[in-house]
A and B are shown apart, each in its own frame.
Chain A
Amino acid sequence: MSIAEKSRETVPAAVDVPRRRRGKRVTDEHGKHVRVWELALRYLLLLAVLALTVGPFLWQLSTSLKGPTEDIFSSPPKFLPGEPTLHNYDRVAQTIPVWDYAFNSLKVATANVVTNCVGAALAGYALARLRYRGRKVATLVFILAMLVPVEGIIIAQFTTMRELGLNNTLIGVVLPGCIGAMNVLLMRNAFLNLPYEIEEAAFVDGANTWQRFLRIALPSVKGTLAVVAIFAFMGAWDDFLWPLIVLSDPDKFTLTIGLNYLHGTFANDERLVAAGTIIAVAPLIALFACLQRYFFRGVGEGAVKG
């Protein structure tokens, strides 16, 4: 839809005239005008989807802000906190060393992003662009790995990790997912979609494999790299069972394990749990907000300039 609308603007200049008179001059990313009714429809749709996607979280946010005397199970439910307070966040920090846990999670997630971006880009490039015997087999290996039902292998993974002496280390937490098969296939797909001509030119110019990869191919797939980065960060940040099984030392626990302590043995405090979930989600949303513009970069553009 959007692309269709966009291109319509390129045709006759005459169409622009009446809108200009109305004084409404909204432009898209290419500096072209957008019709008002289209824009209104677009926002209407955006708002509808917005209500569906973030509504439930606002409820969670609201619960986390409710004061100790408020009935959070009243019926009909109340959406707005009567006496909003940040006290619950304070209590989370008092109950568990939330910053230490968050720092461990940050270490694990950052390592996961780096290894996945590098490893998946390299492997994806090898699968998409390089010619060698066994390429199909290599591709198959990644496809099969993606299909393995991980629920059944976790104890075997743990035994492997123990034999390597990496149980109870953050490295052990990162390793099994440090180059995800799906990320490799995503990168492969991105490289396959690049026009081959650009690289061919460099090939004739005498650039070697490494140079072609680094200078030409990689800058053209920034969008997919950003996707891999956010998937890798999210995967590491949200993972619960694997870090729980690998780690024994509470000093090394990640945030998801730590926040699970908020589910009390003897009593559950919904406000505390809600505050904990907000703490866990906020960095991810922030990260996405920072990276989102990369998803919209033109690939062809990057290749020419890169």
Chain B
Amino acid sequence: MRMPRRALAAAVVALVLPLSACGSGGDDSGSTDASGKVEGDITFQTWNLRANFKPYFEGLVADFEKKYPGTNVKWVDQPAEGYADKISADAAGGTLPDVVNVSPDLVAPLAKAGLALDLDKAAAKYKKEYLPGAWASHEIPGTEGTYAFPWYLNTGPLFYNKSLFKEAGLDASKPPKTYDELFDNALELADKSDGKVATLANVPTIEDFGRYGVELMNKEGTGFAFNDAKGVELLTRYKELYDAKALDSQALTATPESSGKKFLTGAVAMNPGSALDLGNFKKQAPNLYKNIGITDQITSTGKVNMYVMGVMVNAQTKRKPAAVAFAHFVTDAQNQMSFAKKVAIFPSTAGSLDDPYFTKEDGTDETRVRIAAAKSLKNAVNYTPVLFSEQMKTELRNSVAKALQGKVSPEEALDNAVKACDRLLQQQG
């Protein structure tokens, strides 16, 4: 009776011991040299693009394989949810694909861990093909280099509900242009509707502070600075809105989806969006679509906010020349342009935005929004610092919430948030 048990124990030990629970990055090949023959098998991972753009990507892969005989690209696509978790597991387990679709906040930790290839070294010759602002969006403060090719960009106008404006006695053809006008209109809408109609559905995020003209980080990128006078001013004004119910009462727990829905159901009067939302309104809420108003993003800096998607190369790829060539191929002017024509996003390549597609009116709302966005993109900024992690976003949102609830003053709230974010920044190493 005892033997089997001992045997069992031995079997367990034998099975368990060789397994290391710690995923190390593996051996770092260190080289950033991407010269050599473009050949071999590589894997390319995108983020939630398969359902709608399968033919486009299959064509892209086929074109590349034709251009470089001897290459074989395997395209995998990950669904919307859990992308950061998936990349974390792959990065920790050493199973990251060769070419990966990333956003700037994902690039930063991967670059610091030595998992993203420095393109200033490996692909400097391609730099001039991209808009300078877009190329710079994958630079990481405190670290030398650029760690992803810029891919598609997005930005958009501010939508507003004309019928709600009219009901409050406001001129629906004169939407707010400045922050002062925005806050005044919001207070009036709330007042006239007895607090039933809010104008904004979200608490200010880091990009809102940026757009308001707040200096977000110090010059060296070693600490946050959004607790300056300007930042306190913005938060104080939001507190006025919240108290007057001009900021939705559920704003403290809102997500982008929930606030989008609030706009669709007419519970809030304004919502930021993009050209893509127009089609969405038309389909999901035809009644709202009839009353939709479109105006420019409000900024104090003159530069609108943009979102950047990138394509990075795994620093440990065994097929560096092919991986770099493919990442460049996906993001080159021609392929970005044809992708942009499939869905309302914008290419990050220099000169592409001068294409007639982005400059010539044809009378539809979609085109009008697209042209305005393309124009504003030329000097747009990705306000969200690449080092601003999910954990920091939570710290900021929770501090802002405390200020809005009146539990702490706006100054104190922002001081706390900066302190917490600085600590997290140091812990990121």
Q: In their complex, do chains A and B touch, with some C-beta pair under 8 Å?
A: yes
Tell me which of A154-162, A200-208, A227-235 binds B: A154-162
Asked if A73 and B86 make an inter-chain contact with CB atoms under 8 angstroms apart, the answer reads no
Given contacts A71-B287, A244-B85, A250-B77, contact A261 B93 (CB under 8 A): no
Given contacts A96-B51, A263-B80, contact A68 B283 (CB under 8 A): yes
Does residue B78 face the partner (Cβ distance < 8 Å to A)?
yes
Asked if B93 and A167 make an inter-chain contact with CB atoms under 8 angstroms apart, the answer reads yes
What are the interface flags for A145-173 relative to B under an 8 Å C-beta threshold, 1 for contact and 0 otherwise? 00000000011101110111001000000
Pick from B22, B78, B94 the residue with the most CB of A within 10 Å.
B78
Taken together as a complex, chains A and B put the C-alpha atoms of A270 and B265 apart, in Å, by 14
A71-112, CB < 8 A from B: 71-75, 95-96
Nearest B residue to A167 via CB reads: B95
Asked if B276 and A266 make an inter-chain contact with CB atoms under 8 angstroms apart, the answer reads yes
**Residues of the A chain whose Cβ atoms lie less than 8 Å from the Cβ of B261:** 73
Asked if A245 and B86 make an inter-chain contact with CB atoms under 8 angstroms apart, the answer reads yes
**Residues of the B chain whose Cβ atoms lie less than 8 Å from the Cβ of A18:** none
Closest Cβ–Cβ distance, residue A25 to chain B (whole Å): 52
Taken together as a complex, chains A and B put the C-alpha atoms of A241 and B266 apart, in Å, by 34
Does residue B142 face the partner (Cβ distance < 8 Å to A)?
no
Asked if A261 and B48 make an inter-chain contact with CB atoms under 8 angstroms apart, the answer reads yes
Does residue A7 face the partner (Cβ distance < 8 Å to B)?
no
Asked if B280 and A267 make an inter-chain contact with CB atoms under 8 angstroms apart, the answer reads yes
Asked if B80 and A265 make an inter-chain contact with CB atoms under 8 angstroms apart, the answer reads yes
Taken together as a complex, chains A and B put the C-alpha atoms of A248 and B43 apart, in Å, by 10
Taken together as a complex, chains A and B put the C-alpha atoms of A88 and B45 apart, in Å, by 28
What are the interface flags for A194-219 relative to B under an 8 Å C-beta threshold, 1 for contact and 0 otherwise? 00000000000000000000000000
Nearest A residue to B261 via CB reads: A73
Tell me which of B13-21, B62-70, B351-359, B376-384 binds A: B13-21
How many chain A residues have a CB neighbour from B under 8 Å? 41
B79-106, CB < 8 A from A: 79-82, 85-86, 88-90, 92-95, 97
Taken together as a complex, chains A and B put the C-alpha atoms of A250 and B45 apart, in Å, by 11
Does residue B300 face the partner (Cβ distance < 8 Å to A)?
no
Does residue A28 face the partner (Cβ distance < 8 Å to B)?
no
Closest Cβ–Cβ distance, residue B34 to chain A (whole Å): 24
Does residue B426 face the partner (Cβ distance < 8 Å to A)?
no
Taken together as a complex, chains A and B put the C-alpha atoms of A269 and B285 apart, in Å, by 11
Asked if B51 and A95 make an inter-chain contact with CB atoms under 8 angstroms apart, the answer reads yes
**Residues of the B chain whose Cβ atoms lie less than 8 Å from the Cβ of A266:** 52, 276, 343-345
Asked if A268 and B280 make an inter-chain contact with CB atoms under 8 angstroms apart, the answer reads yes
Asked if A260 and B76 make an inter-chain contact with CB atoms under 8 angstroms apart, the answer reads no
Asked if B95 and A248 make an inter-chain contact with CB atoms under 8 angstroms apart, the answer reads yes
Taken together as a complex, chains A and B put the C-alpha atoms of A165 and B357 apart, in Å, by 49
Does residue A134 face the partner (Cβ distance < 8 Å to B)?
yes
Nearest B residue to A69 via CB reads: B286
Taken together as a complex, chains A and B put the C-alpha atoms of A131 and B88 apart, in Å, by 45
Asked if A264 and B52 make an inter-chain contact with CB atoms under 8 angstroms apart, the answer reads yes
Asked if A132 and B1 make an inter-chain contact with CB atoms under 8 angstroms apart, the answer reads yes
Nearest B residue to A75 via CB reads: B265
Asked if B81 and A73 make an inter-chain contact with CB atoms under 8 angstroms apart, the answer reads no
Does residue B49 face the partner (Cβ distance < 8 Å to A)?
yes
Nearest B residue to A74 via CB reads: B287
Taken together as a complex, chains A and B put the C-alpha atoms of A267 and B281 apart, in Å, by 10
Does residue A301 face the partner (Cβ distance < 8 Å to B)?
no
What are the interface flags for B240-271 relative to A under an 8 Å C-beta threshold, 1 for contact and 0 otherwise? 00000000000000000100010011100000
A-B contact count (CB 8 A): 119
**Residues of the A chain whose Cβ atoms lie less than 8 Å from the Cβ of B288:** 73
Asked if A250 and B76 make an inter-chain contact with CB atoms under 8 angstroms apart, the answer reads yes
Which one of A74, A95, A155, A244 contacts B82 once the chains associate, using CB atoms below 8 Å? A244
Given contacts A75-B266, A156-B21, A159-B22, contact A240 B82 (CB under 8 A): yes
Nearest B residue to A92 via CB reads: B51
Closest Cβ–Cβ distance, residue A73 to chain B (whole Å): 4
What are the interface flags for B37-76 relative to A under an 8 Å C-beta threshold, 1 for contact and 0 otherwise? 0000001010111111000000000000000000000001
Closest Cβ–Cβ distance, residue B391 to chain A (whole Å): 16
**Residues of the A chain whose Cβ atoms lie less than 8 Å from the Cβ of B77:** 250, 261
Asked if B76 and A249 make an inter-chain contact with CB atoms under 8 angstroms apart, the answer reads yes
Taken together as a complex, chains A and B put the C-alpha atoms of A260 and B77 apart, in Å, by 12
Closest Cβ–Cβ distance, residue A6 to chain B (whole Å): 48
Closest Cβ–Cβ distance, residue B152 to chain A (whole Å): 10
Given contacts A241-B82, A261-B80, A265-B49, contact A73 B284 (CB under 8 A): yes
**Residues of the A chain whose Cβ atoms lie less than 8 Å from the Cβ of B285:** 71-74
Closest Cβ–Cβ distance, residue B345 to chain A (whole Å): 8
What are the interface flags for A255-286 relative to B under an 8 Å C-beta threshold, 1 for contact and 0 otherwise? 00110111111111110000000000000000
Does residue B125 face the partner (Cβ distance < 8 Å to A)?
no
**Residues of the B chain whose Cβ atoms lie less than 8 Å from the Cβ of A160:** 19, 21
What are the interface flags for A33-73 relative to B under an 8 Å C-beta threshold, 1 for contact and 0 otherwise? 00000000000000000000000000000000000110111
Nearest B residue to A153 via CB reads: B21
Nearest A residue to B52 via CB reads: A264
Taken together as a complex, chains A and B put the C-alpha atoms of A248 and B288 apart, in Å, by 40
Taken together as a complex, chains A and B put the C-alpha atoms of A241 and B344 apart, in Å, by 30
Asked if A265 and B19 make an inter-chain contact with CB atoms under 8 angstroms apart, the answer reads no
Does residue B277 face the partner (Cβ distance < 8 Å to A)?
yes
Closest Cβ–Cβ distance, residue A104 to chain B (whole Å): 14
Closest Cβ–Cβ distance, residue A242 to chain B (whole Å): 10
Which one of B48, B90, B277, B284 contacts A265 once the chains associate, using CB atoms below 8 Å? B48
Asked if B95 and A260 make an inter-chain contact with CB atoms under 8 angstroms apart, the answer reads no
Asked if A261 and B79 make an inter-chain contact with CB atoms under 8 angstroms apart, the answer reads yes
Given contacts A154-B89, A270-B284, contact A159 B47 (CB under 8 A): no
Does residue B279 face the partner (Cβ distance < 8 Å to A)?
yes
Does residue B302 face the partner (Cβ distance < 8 Å to A)?
no
B1-26, CB < 8 A from A: 1, 5, 18-23
Asked if A155 and B92 make an inter-chain contact with CB atoms under 8 angstroms apart, the answer reads yes
Asked if B265 and A73 make an inter-chain contact with CB atoms under 8 angstroms apart, the answer reads yes
Taken together as a complex, chains A and B put the C-alpha atoms of A245 and B89 apart, in Å, by 7
Nearest B residue to A265 via CB reads: B48
Taken together as a complex, chains A and B put the C-alpha atoms of A159 and B283 apart, in Å, by 44
Given contacts A257-B79, A261-B50, contact A73 B93 (CB under 8 A): no
Q: What are 8 A-B contacts defined by CB distance under 8 Å?
A: A69-B286, A73-B285, A75-B266, A154-B89, A244-B81, A244-B86, A245-B85, A266-B344
9 closest Cβ contacts across the A-B interface? A260-B79, A261-B51, A73-B264, A265-B48, A245-B89, A267-B280, A158-B89, A263-B80, A266-B276
Interface on B for A, CB 8 Å cutoff? 1, 5, 18-23, 43, 45, 47-52, 76-82, 85-86, 88-90, 92-95, 97, 257, 261, 264-266, 276-277, 279-280, 283-288, 343-345
Q: A155-B23, A265-B47 are in contact. List 13 more A-B contacts (CB 8 A).
A: A69-B286, A154-B89, A155-B88, A163-B19, A164-B19, A250-B76, A262-B51, A263-B48, A263-B81, A266-B345, A268-B257, A268-B280, A269-B284
